[in-house]
């Protein structure tokens, strides 16, 4: 059963923007905090942004001021607006719960930022 489906990644020039979407099952989304995570080659997966069920947000220092996380509860969808992208943002981006045991990870979406 596919519960998390990420989309919106791609190849972008440094300084550009992308908007990622994550469609989640209702059982995951409805009463959970949600987060965006990323994993670059040879590195651990890290949280980049989180949003509570009430809409409060948290960001990693490396993306603060550039990325914005939001959620649409009616659509069971969480978004990540990424602006002023840098080559070091290159990674596979995943969504999942935040602050709880994770659901099964989806396929992720590749973000590549060229110099």
Tokens 């959620």 correspond to 71
State the pLDDT at residue 29. 85
State the pLDDT at residue 2. 76
Mean pLDDT of 76-104: 96
Separation CA 61–CA 47 (nearest Å): 11
Mean pLDDT of 37-57: 96
- The answer, yes or no, to whether residue 50 has pLDDT greater than 90, is yes
């Amino acid at each position: 059963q596919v519960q998390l489906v990420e989309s919106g990644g791609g190849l972008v020039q440094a300084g550009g923007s992308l908007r990622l979407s994550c469609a989640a099952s209702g059982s995951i989304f409805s009463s959970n905090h949600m987060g965006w995570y990323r994993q670059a080659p040879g590195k651990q997966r890290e949280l980049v942004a989180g949003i509570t069920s009430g809409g409060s947000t948290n960001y990693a220092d490396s993306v603060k001021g550039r990325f914005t996380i939001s959620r649409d509860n009616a659509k069971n969808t969480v978004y990540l607006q990424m602006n002023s992208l840098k080559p070091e943002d290159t990674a596979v981006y995943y969504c999942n719960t935040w602050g709880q045991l994770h659901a099964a990870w989806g396929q992720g979406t590749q973000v590549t930022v060229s110099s």
